[in-house]
Structure 1
Amino acid sequence: MEKNGKKVVIGVIGSDCHAVGNKIIDHVLAKQGFDVVNIGVLSPQEDFINAAVETNADAIIVSSLYGHGELDCQGMREKCQEAGLKDITLYVGGNIVVGKQTWEDVEKRFESMGFDRVYAPGTPIEITAKDLKKDLSIAE
């Protein structure tokens, strides 16, 4: 597929080392025309932000599968703003909390932390790619 001109930073946040899903996300987004900057696993917020600043990225997609995404993502929007990324599109998805919680409550908490979209466990990356095209004003 032809490149759409949009850069997306992806990675797995915190002490999470789930690499397979990250590679799938990279592959699907690249096939959808995105220029993917994959920072890999075990990545702190600063790595996402630095990569976004260095590459002039349009979006950051944070993955977390080990359940501690809520802790790992706190303050990320504020750090993006401090780094000059005031309008960056910020997504998060995966198994982002520990324990049984209603998805509506989880989604609201992450939205209140400044994430534009929050994806439940098992959400196909194709849905995220479609949302990203919409949010970044890319014609289908």
Structure 2
Amino acid sequence: MVLHTMSRTVVLGVIGSDAHVVGITILEQAFSAAGFDVVNLGVQTSQAEFAEAAVAHDAEAVLVSSLYGHAEQDCQGFHEVLDEADVDAVTYIGGNLDVGQSDFEQTRRTFQKLGFDRVFDSETDPEDAIAALRQDLEITPTESERATISS
């Protein structure tokens, strides 16, 4: 008997006026390869578009990317928009979130105060974000994945 685990859906996009596409392309490929259903909203995505997609696809995670250094402004009120749409998902943000970004711990605190569950810098390996999401969604590896991991 083969047990199929329910596929987990993540919504991914670049927020605000940011037009950097390479990062989300890499993330889409990595999360898809890790077994997630990825809804890639692309670049220059509004807060409302993230919320609408999360509702439409019953997403368990909303992953926000920003590379142009103005994420704090773009994310003001983001979690209120998600709450109003009754989105119940973990939220991650990553990239070059702050112009200059000299103290990432300060940047992390800023985005945690804005409501994000996890905050990643631009040097984060996609595998680290995938591992964090598996932990946050309490996804345990299947037998075949465990065999792959341990070999």
TM-score range, shorter chain: over 0.9
- Which residue in the other structure is 2:144 paired with? none
Post-superposition offset of 1:100: 4.0
Please say which structure displays the higher CA radius of gyration.
2
Query: CA–CA distance in 2 between the matches of 1:32 and 1:100?
Result: 30
Query: CA–CA distance in 1 between the matches of 2:75 and 2:28?
Result: 20
Q: Deviations over 1:19-73 (max 9, x none)?
A: 1111110000000000000000111111111100111100000000000111101
Q: Secondary structure at the match of 1:138?
A: coil
Query: CA–CA distance in 1 between the matches of 2:72 and 2:102?
Result: 12
- Which residue in the other structure is 1:75 paired with? 77
Aligned mate of 1:37, from 29, 36, 39:
39
Please identify, of 31-40 and 94-103, the stretch whose mean Cα deviation from structure 2 is larger: 94-103
- Indicate yes or no: 2:9 matched with 1:7: yes
Post-superposition offset of 1:15: 1.0
Q: Which runs of 4+ in 1 moved over 6 A?
A: none
Query: CA–CA distance in 1 between the matches of 2:28 and 2:8?
Result: 14
Query: CA–CA distance in 2 between the matches of 1:53 and 1:107?
Result: 26
Aligned residues: 138
Query: CA–CA distance in 2 between the matches of 1:4 and 1:123?
Result: 27
Contact map agreement 1:4 1:34 (CA 8 A) in 2: no
Q: Deviations over 1:85-135 (max 9, x none)?
A: 1x3100000001112431111101100110000001210111001100110
| Structure 2: gaps spanning 5 or more residues | 142-151
Post-superposition offset of 1:4: 5.0
- Which residue in the other structure is 2:147 paired with? none
- Indicate yes or no: 2:24 matched with 1:22: yes
Contact map agreement 1:4 1:33 (CA 8 A) in 2: no
Q: Secondary structure at the match of 1:25?
A: helix
